[in-house]
Amino acid sequence: MLIFDPFHYSFTPLSLAVLTVGAGMLLLGTAVLLRERLSGIAVRYWLLTVAISIWLLNYSLAYAALRDDLVLQWFRLGSVGVVFIPPGLLALVAYVVQQERETRLYVRAAVALSLLFTAAVFVPGLFLTGLYRYSWGPAARYGWPGMLVIAFLYVVGTLALVLILREYRRSTHPVNRRRLAWVMSAFGIGHLASLDFAVNLGIPLYPVGFAAVAVYMASSFLLMVRDRLVFLTPEVAMKEVLETMQSAAIITDLEGRVRVVNHSAEEMLGLRKADLVGRDLASLAIIPQEVQAAVLAGDRPAPRELVWPDGRGGRTVVSVAASFVTDERSGMPVGVVYVAHNITRRVEAEERLMRFAGELQAANRQLEGLDRMKSDFVSVVSHELRTPITAIKAFVDILRMKPDMPADRKMMMLRTVSEESDRLGRLINDLLDLSRIESGAVAWREETLSTADIIRAAVEGITPLAANKGIEVTTAVADALPGLRGDRDRIVQVMTNLLSNAVKFTPAGGRISVAAHAEPGPPEQVVVAVADTGRGIPPKDLQRIFDKFHRSGDVDSDMIEGIGLGLNISRQIVEHHGGRIWADSAPGQGSTFRFSIPVSAGGTG
């Protein structure tokens, strides 16, 4: 039975000092345990401090007790603490030097021994056989198991020091070495406390062990609190993992208020921790309500692709996974963690790929079109070449076989042969022009030109043809048009094309008018118009007549000469000069073809 009657105690300075250190040790161990949330190292540290505190607190009562039986009673209880110091020390050191696996057997053996010793402590006359009286107070007289415990303490204490020393030698990082040196000196000084047990063997040594323990306490306190328990624990590592990971992590409580964010989250959202923590997740508008709802309902929603503003006017595409945070011990949900992985680069690459695929498809279609055009080209050209050749050959054969044919018929045939040769010549010229322009083989001249001169040259060339057909050609050119820059022959070719088309598609008695005026820019341009009173062009053909071989509607059946290259060549010439060509027309209403050429700087024409 424990006796706490104050009349049986008188506290000496020694008993008070021992009491203070014992109580301080317990408080410190418990504080570390709570502060480090039961981390592995904190639990081991706490167990050791409990063993030391049991020793010191009970011994302090023993020093203060006035009756021998009480003294013995407290020494006995204190001895329980003493026998558990070795396993506690070994477990802590093994954890610090990360050799738990290698030392597991030793720790277990130490625990088993301690249990045996504890049993021995309570066998009367075995562990404690009586008391010594010294000038400063009493000491327990140890029997042989007590001596074994002292040996046990020495052996384990030395083993612990050796383990730390080995780790110190192995370690290369200065910070780590400094830390281990601290641990080593703390344990080394703590080790001195075992000198206290000399008194139990009858050697009169003032029991200063509590002072060594106080030093050990102070140094381990500094190590654990100031150095923040920097030995790798899952808790310390988790924090580093959180801050090092490239994904953004946002942890909210069950009400959806942001509690924890990591560095990547700040980066991705362009917001500081202070702006994020404490805010309602909904007010940030980065996680859809239904995702939050799903998690809170206990689901684990599949990762979602979301677009987050990056706070700098840009966007980040993220893949967000969400799950519950549950309390390890109670298993109750305490919050929700969202982890967002930046996939902007991947999404952009995908978009680029899609665009390329689209462009490739378009290019493919264009190539197919070109391929078709090439086939058309070959068939049109061969047809157009064959027709005049067939006619020429037929007439030449007839002339050869019937030399005495009437002269007028001969003349008619020879005229046809000549016309067909002209047509062949024109066709070949057009084809050559086209291929030269398209292959870039044309040597474009560049000179200052006068619009009026170009129009005059072209109109003069076409007038006999028009007159033949009874078509009147009139010209209205504005005064003092600005000069152009370009290749005179080519621009005359464009004009001639337009004029000869106008003659071709206008019935006898029709009219063709040519006009030119300047249009203010930029760039300032000269616009030339060729209008006729001919058959006109249906709207569906207005654009396409500028394509190669495209001839409008019924011209083929009407046997109007041509293969549909003139306008295409004209467009290429005009565009080469930086201008544009277009047509306005309606069936039966005549047509007006216009082209524009930017004027050259300075000079008039």
Binding residues for ligand ADP (CB under 6 A): 497, 501-502, 505, 532, 534-535, 537, 545, 551-552, 555, 562-568, 591
* C-alpha–C-alpha distance, residues 279 and 522, integer Å: 57
CB of 372 to ligand ADP, least distance (A): 19
* Other CB atoms within 10 Å distance of the CB of residue 48: 24
Report the residue number, 217 or 498, with the smaller CB distance to ligand ADP: 498
- From the CB of residue 57, how many other CB atoms can be counted at a distance below 10 Å? 21
Pick between residue 198 and residue 381 the one whose CB is nearest to ligand ADP: 381
Using Cβ positions, the residue closest to ligand ADP within the complex turns out to be 562
Please tell me what DSSP assigns to residue 225. I
User: What is the spatial distance between Cα 455 and Cα 512, in angstroms, rounded to a whole number?
Assistant: 13
Q: List the one residue out of 218, 201, 202, 196 whose CA is nearest residue 60.
A: 196
Structure tokens at 405: 């044919």
Q: Considering beta carbons, is residue 336 or 567 the nearer one to ligand ADP?
A: 567
Least CB distance to ligand ADP at residue 525 (A): 22
Query: Least distance from C-beta 591 to ligand ADP, angstroms?
Result: 4
Question: Residue 19: which residues within 8 A CB-CB, separation 6 or more?
Answer: 11, 56, 57, 60, 61
Residues 6 or more apart whose CB falls under 8 angstroms from that of 417 comprise 391, 392, 395, 396
State how far the Cα of 485 lies from the Cα of 579, in Å rounded to an integer.
Answer: 11
Work out how close the CB of 422 gets to ligand ADP at its nearest, in angstroms, rounded to a whole number: 14
Quick one: DSSP state of residue 200?
A: G
Neighbour tally for 105: CB within 10 Å: 9
Residue placing its CB nearer to ligand ADP in the complex, 9 or 549: 549
Which structure tokens are listed for 160?
A: 């612990």
Shortest Å distance, C-beta 502 to ligand ADP? 5
Q: Is-contact 469 508, C-beta < 8 A?
A: yes
Q: Which is nearer to ligand ADP, 490 or 535 (CB)?
A: 535
- Between 263 and 550, name the residue whose CB sits nearer to ligand ADP: 550
State the minimum distance, in angstroms, from the CB of residue 497 to ligand ADP: 6
Please give the structure tokens belonging to residue 242.
């959180």
> Cβ closer to ligand ADP: 70 or 537?
537
> Pairing between strand 591-604 and 525-532?
antiparallel
CB 384 to ligand ADP: min, Å:
10
Least separation in angstroms between residue 419's CB and ligand ADP is 16
110 versus 563: smaller Cβ distance to ligand ADP: 563
Please state, in angstroms and rounded to a whole number, the distance separating the CA atoms of residues 175 and 528: 87
